[in-house]
Amino acid sequence: MTHDQMMQALSPVRLPLTMATLSLPEMAALLAFGILSGLVVAAAVLPLTRRRAPRRRTRLADLRALPVPQRMLALARHLGHLPDALRAAAYGAAPPPSDRRIERLARRARLCRMWRR
């Protein structure tokens, strides 16, 4: 039996023509399903692949061992800004405040910054 004879012996397709081809709404639904499934996979993988910055927890009491100018610089790096009450001391225009006052101002600045977010 040749290939042509075998093809003629096959019965015709029993599916309706509308089911044998994709229509435009079906293609749009498949595209939307693919995009949604891609977003779900990306959302599931993102926490696993995100670059994490190393977290250094610097306690304010650990800064007491530093000299006053370096302590002010470390405090400014830790908070992201230098509190207004400490700026004059940081630039040498005023005498340095006590350790307790520096820590109190830093805690107050940190709390104010948390509530501003």
Q: What is the pLDDT of residue 105?
A: 83
Residue identified by tokens 């939307």 is 32
57 compared with 11, residue with greater pLDDT:
11
Taking the domains of the chain in order of start, what are their residue ranges?
60-116
Assess contact for 107 and 72: CB atoms under 8 A.
no
* Distance (Å, whole) CA 50 – CA 59: 27
- Picking from 110, 73, 69, 70, the residue whose alpha carbon sits closest to that of residue 93 is 69
Q: What is the pLDDT of residue 43?
A: 93
Does this model's pTM top 0.85? My answer is no
